[in-house]
Amino acid sequence: MRKLLFSLAIMIGVVFTSTADEGMWMLQLLKQQKLSEMHALGLKLEDYDIYNPDGASIKDAVVQFGRGCTGEVISSQGLVLTNHHCGFGQIQQHSSLGNNYLDDGFWAMRQEDELPNPGLTVTFIDQIEEVTAWVKECLVRDRERDKEGIFYLSPAYLNGLAREKAGEQFLNDHPGTEVEIKPFFEGNQYYMFTKKVYSDIRLVGAPPSAIGKFGADTDNWMWPRHTGDFSLFRIYADKEGNPAAFSTSNVPLKPKRWLTISTRGVEEDDFAMILGFPGTTHKYYTSWEVAERRDIDNSVRIRMREVRQDALLEEMLHDPAVKIQYASKYAGSTNAYKNAIGTSWAIDMHNFEQVKRDQQNRLAEWADRKNKPQYTDALKEIECIVKERADLRYRSWMLNEAVNRGVEFSTIPTAIAEHLVKALEDDDQAEAEKLLVQLESAYHQFADKDYNPGVDRKVSKKMIAAYMQAVPEEHYPGAFHLIASDFEGDSDRFVDFLFDQSLFGSEENFRRAVSGATLIESLRNDPMFLFAKSVRDEAASLRAQLASYDVPLSLARRTFMEGMLAMDEPYTHFPDANLTLRISYGKVKGYQPRDGVVYKHQTTIEGVMEKEDPDNWEFVVPEKLKALYSTGDFGPYAMPDGKLPIAFAATTHTTGGNSGSPVMNGAGELIGLNFDRNWEGVGGDIQYLPDYQRSIIVDIRYVLFVIDKFAGAKHLVEEMELR
């Protein structure tokens, strides 16, 4: 019996190399891959409703928002919904003390009041085409030029091919159209994307941060969640509907397709699907890369960020001005820190090393049977490279996390300073004047309103001490040796010396030096400049040494992946995320994080009120929201039991880049807006965990409630199509 079960397990393992609900699938292969499973779970649509190369389909309503987020078109007038944290930079840009949209929210009551955002783009995917055979032919054609053998993964080369394929004439005739070829499965397959990029994107609405960022860092990566993480933008185009630079004569885009919205709500186990632009995953890591990620990358990141965040928080809690200055840096730091903790937890808890070892062993046995030694060799090569690069990788992660990120002054503009010294030495007056202007501007960009030298001084002392403890002395960047030779090993005194003596140590020092007669001397001997330059040189040297492993590793990974694809049935695998359009599907579902603890699938306004803490900026609840809560005035957006829904969780496989993605029901109607994952599920970037991984989604009814009842911008809801 046991034996039978065992072979059954193997059979099942062989057939289902991905678990139900796992995967970020490519739209054009839905029929071959997942459509029947999706139908079984509750999808009512056909593949061509989602992706239709010959007509409008749901994919035409899904856009890449900026460079790292997703958004969706939700009206016939080009209205786009995305996350508050995706529009955060724009909302911040328009904010001042007088018009504090971060604190108070922003609502354009008329289209004339919508705010332009230079630099922001929204990208539609017009066409997706497999071009594997053609790219492979070109690689053979161009092999003479490809001295290092890296063209097969090179974005510059591949995008050159894309332009060649599209033709310059076509691109000139279609302003705003861009083409791109991306490698999939480590360079075993290629797809070409024809995109339309709109660049006149205006801010339409954003809730106050107390709604859009409610729970801030404490709740980040956490379920149960109570954040209204959304904002609204509008796409503007020329009169023909083509992309055009900002102009008052532009008009709202009439899109090919927009999503209809369901206000009927969700129940546990309902079908849910997400279209979006996931950024990076590592499904095809080998066991050695899993261990490397935990033992080097994550371990260094966690240790060093703990030191930095503790030091930062102490300063922030001490001084409200510092709290504002460092809010964004602190949030960025904790975001990746918590992710690293969750990933390492999942690696151990669910033995990812064994999962990947099983995958490798399966390949090795198959390769043996089929007499294809190249696949076993590729595995050995990966193992070998990962072992050999361990020390370099450790030092590089340490330098990056502890010094480049932890010591702000390690990023002062050394390159411009060097050019300036050179121009002064050459007595090139004109060049020197130009460079001095550049240096001033670069220094002020570094020492901007959110830079506090007092904080940097304190935090750097902690970071430099931690770095020196963690890295062997012979590997310190050159400037660190001064600490032993000139400061009796006292790194705190060294940091004080840098700040007191350097022209980059304070605005006063900087002013004095640039207006002084001996600028050349001051620059040449500037201790902070010498420190930063030495860190920069060490980083470059580590990068160069590590690069010698990159090419053979990528090649071995390509062969390994080729073996995986050859071994399993066609269409079994989904490619790792690479910022291309994908679909994930699953069910609305809660989970059990720990023994005896059950999390429900849905949260409500009750939880907002439970978390309320007027003394903690992360959990302040706006008065207006409290008033609506106390009268229970939720309009048509309440659940059948009268409560206001806030967020729900689903088993959909998502990652960074999926923020802002539309969450749809079986009929393809919008039911929510993806914005996060639970920390127990972030390991899904390496191995999806059906019992743990959850996408965290704002309930669309909360979004509508905030727009309509809270902000009084009912005209925007009227623009949408509600069902």
Minimum distance between the CB of residue 31 and ligand ASP, rounded to whole angstroms? 27
Catalytic residue status for 444 = no
Q: Which does 602 bind (CB under 5 to 8 A by kind): ligand ARG, ligand ASP, none?
A: none
Q: Which does 217 bind (CB under 5 to 8 A by kind): ligand ARG, ligand ASP, none?
A: ligand ARG
Q: Which does 658 bind (CB under 5 to 8 A by kind): ligand ARG, ligand ASP, none?
A: ligand ASP
Of 225 and 533, the one with the shorter C-beta distance to ligand ASP is: 225
676, 229 contact by CB (below 8 A): yes
Minimum distance between the CB of residue 181 and ligand ASP, rounded to whole angstroms? 24
Look at residue 697 and give its three-state secondary structure: strand
Q: How far is CA 435 from CA 205, 418, 427, 511, in A?
A: 41, 10, 13, 15
164, 225 contact by CB (below 8 A): no
For residues 336-362, one letter each, b for 16 or more C-beta atoms within 10 angstroms of the residue's C-beta and e for the rest, the string is bbbbbbbbbbbbeebebbeebeebbeb
198, 122 contact by CB (below 8 A): yes
Of 231 and 534, the one with the shorter C-beta distance to ligand ARG is: 231
In angstroms, the CA 233 to CA 81 distance is 7
Catalytic residue among 21, 47, 219, 229: 229
In angstroms, the CA 712 to CA 348 distance is 49
Q: Which residues pair with 274 in a beta bridge?
A: 584, 663
Q: Which residues bind ligand ARG (CB under 6 A)?
A: 85, 216-217, 220-221, 331, 335, 656, 659, 676
Catalytic residue among 85, 226, 601, 653: 85
Helices of type H across 389-526: 390-398, 414-425, 429-446, 453-470, 481-487, 491-501, 507-515, 519-524
Of 309 and 655, the one with the shorter C-beta distance to ligand ASP is: 655
CA 81 to chain centre: 18
Q: Which does 216 bind (CB under 5 to 8 A by kind): ligand ASP, ligand ARG, none?
A: ligand ARG
Catalytic residue status for 659 = yes
Of 360 and 659, the one with the shorter C-beta distance to ligand ASP is: 659
Minimum distance between the CB of residue 654 and ligand ARG, rounded to whole angstroms? 10
Residue type, 494: F
Minimum distance between the CB of residue 618 and ligand ASP, rounded to whole angstroms? 17
Minimum distance between the CB of residue 526 and ligand ARG, rounded to whole angstroms? 35
Residue nearest to ligand ASP (CB): 659
Q: Which does 59 bind (CB under 5 to 8 A by kind): ligand ARG, ligand ASP, none?
A: none
Of 457 and 653, the one with the shorter C-beta distance to ligand ASP is: 653
Of 562 and 685, the one with the shorter C-beta distance to ligand ARG is: 685
For residues 668-692, one letter each, b for 16 or more C-beta atoms within 10 angstroms of the residue's C-beta and e for the rest, the string is bbbbbbbbbbbbbbbbbbbbbbbeb
Minimum distance between the CB of residue 85 and ligand ASP, rounded to whole angstroms? 6
Minimum distance between the CB of residue 705 and ligand ARG, rounded to whole angstroms? 22
Q: Which does 331 bind (CB under 5 to 8 A by kind): ligand ARG, ligand ASP, none?
A: ligand ARG
Q: Which does 396 bind (CB under 5 to 8 A by kind): ligand ARG, ligand ASP, none?
A: none
Q: Which does 654 bind (CB under 5 to 8 A by kind): ligand ASP, ligand ARG, none?
A: ligand ASP
Q: Which residues bind ligand ASP (CB under 6 A)?
A: 654-659, 675-677
Minimum distance between the CB of residue 25 and ligand ASP, rounded to whole angstroms? 17
Of 176 and 342, the one with the shorter C-beta distance to ligand ASP is: 342
In angstroms, the CA 494 to CA 501 distance is 10
Q: Rg of the chain over CA atoms, in angstroms? A: 27
Of 220 and 359, the one with the shorter C-beta distance to ligand ARG is: 220
Q: Which does 228 bind (CB under 5 to 8 A by kind): ligand ASP, ligand ARG, none?
A: none
Of 396 and 659, the one with the shorter C-beta distance to ligand ARG is: 659
Catalytic residue among 491, 659, 661, 695: 659
Helices of type H across 75-178: 84-93, 101-104, 132-141, 155-166, 168-173
Q: Name, in order, each residue with C-beta under 8 angstroms of 166's C-beta and a sequence gap of 6 or more.
A: 179, 194
CA 542 to chain centre: 25
426, 452 contact by CB (below 8 A): no
Instruction: Spell out the long-range contacts of 593-597 with Cβ–Cβ below 8 A and sequence spacing 24 or more.
Output: 593/678, 593/680, 593/692
* CB neighbours of residue 543 within 10 Å: 12
Minimum distance between the CB of residue 681 and ligand ARG, rounded to whole angstroms? 11
Residue 377: both structure tokens together: 């060799």
Q: Tokens 């060649």 label which residue? A: 164
Residue 583: both structure tokens together: 């679909």
| Catalytic center residues | 85, 229, 659
